A = this chain, B = another copy of it.
Amino acid sequence: MSVEWLVGVDLGGTTIKIAFITCSGDIVHKWEIPTKKSEQGNKIPSDIGRSIDKKLIEIGETKSKLIGIGIGAPGPVNDADGSIHVAVNLGLRNFPLRQLLSLETGLPVVVDNDANIAAIGEMWKGAGEGANNLLCVTLGTGVGGGVIANGEIVHGVNGAAGEIGHITSVLEEGAICNCGKSGCLETVASATGVVRLAKNILTSTSTPSILRDAGNETNELTAKLIFEAAKARDVVAVNVVNVLAFHLGFTLANIANVLNPEKIVIGGGVSKAGDILLDSVREQFIRFAFPRVVEGVELNIATLGNDAGVIGGAWLAKTKLATTEEMFICLKERHSNLQKILRKNINSKKTLNINY
């Protein structure tokens, strides 16, 4: 029997990312298709099924090569039956994703929330590698989160765990959030939030700033532009980064006091700001976290980028779906990889860094 692959799927609002991944977490094939939201989402499972079939034909493999599918969906998932409770971006409600996708593909399917799956991806192969207690926060259009405690995803009682974006961090005069509350972390730490913070400062002060042109003339002020300006020490931009870092550091410290994680991974578009963001967040984190919690933790920027979802999906498929026989083949594959690495290194005498 040949070495088998896992299928990782990341179901997003505009594209569906699909990948064939080895049991060691290496991506073999990766592609994406557009997300068709018509017919209450009913086209999604068949589109994924057809796309997988097409890819198999293209590369000359059969479906027996695939162990199962792990898919991340943008919304709370019902753990018992793998249905999506509600996914606002996709217009889905009580959508039986596991059942439909399994029918379409003839493969076993495991479904989880996309932020959770991204966290799992980072735990397996990214910035959270090997951490059994891990907190991931994704700073994108919104702010999402994934929590891993004792090596397991924390879903909570109705799949709403990890709603880090809706922790209140602005107590006084916070902006209104999409969730209906005000002052949520999302209102200051998302891409949208960062732009709003900058616009507020630009309109309420006369501080000179290179952001004024972008802000006023083309009306295309972006989070990316703000971070670039902050790196160039633009006073308004630095001010925005400080406000963001204060609220993110404060919130992450408070969560860390409860979970005592080994690693905290910051991902999503806003995290591309890199060190200028990470250094300020770390400073605020240390200010607010319990000393022993600070000792135990590492704050990192996510490393998998857009691949976190498909890799996390593959991990779920591997741990939740693979049969004992398939696990044995996975293990043999890893053993053979290990032997290859060992053989290569015996002569070069490099330090070995093997990921089990």
In contact, B288 and A181 (Cβ under 8 angstroms):
yes
Map CB proximity to B onto A245-285 as digits: 1 under 8 Å, 0 otherwise: 00000110111011111100000000000000000000000
A327 at the interface (CB under 8 A from B): no
The answer for the CA separation of A147 and B258 in the assembled complex, in Å, is 8
A123 at the interface (CB under 8 A from B): no
Which of A149, A161, A166, A257 has the most B CB atoms < 10 Å from its CB? A257
Contacts of A147 in B (CB 8 A): 149, 258-259
Contacts of A150 in B (CB 8 A): 149-150, 152, 154-155
In contact, B257 and A293 (Cβ under 8 angstroms):
no
In contact, B154 and A290 (Cβ under 8 angstroms):
no
A121 at the interface (CB under 8 A from B): no
9 closest pairs, A vs B, by CB?
Answer: A156-B260, A161-B260, A157-B262, A158-B296, A160-B292, A157-B296, A160-B260, A166-B290, A163-B257
Choose among B155, B179, B259, B292 the residue that contacts A76 (Cβ–Cβ < 8 A).
B292
A145 at the interface (CB under 8 A from B): yes
A180 at the interface (CB under 8 A from B): yes
Contacts of A59 in B (CB 8 A): none
How far in angstroms is the closest Cβ of chain B from A88? 12
Choose among B133, B159, B167, B291 the residue that contacts A157 (Cβ–Cβ < 8 A).
B133
Q: Which residue of B lies closest to A145 (CB)?
A: B258
The answer for the CA separation of A157 and B256 in the assembled complex, in Å, is 11
Which of A145, A171, A261, A292 has the most B CB atoms < 10 Å from its CB? A292
The answer for the CA separation of A159 and B262 in the assembled complex, in Å, is 11
In contact, A290 and B163 (Cβ under 8 angstroms):
yes
Map CB proximity to B onto A135-177 as digits: 1 under 8 Å, 0 otherwise: 0000000000101011010111111111110111001000000
Which of A160, A168, A171, A250 has the most B CB atoms < 10 Å from its CB? A160
Choose among B156, B168, B262, B296 the residue that contacts A288 (Cβ–Cβ < 8 A).
B168
A53 at the interface (CB under 8 A from B): no
In contact, A160 and B296 (Cβ under 8 angstroms):
yes
Which of A145, A150, A261 has the most B CB atoms < 10 Å from its CB? A150
In contact, B292 and A167 (Cβ under 8 angstroms):
no
A129 at the interface (CB under 8 A from B): no
In contact, A168 and B250 (Cβ under 8 angstroms):
yes
How far in angstroms is the closest Cβ of chain B from A127? 15
Contacts of A154 in B (CB 8 A): 133, 149-150, 259-260
A66 at the interface (CB under 8 A from B): no
In contact, B290 and A161 (Cβ under 8 angstroms):
no
Contacts of A163 in B (CB 8 A): 257-258, 260, 290, 292-293
How far in angstroms is the closest Cβ of chain B from A230? 24
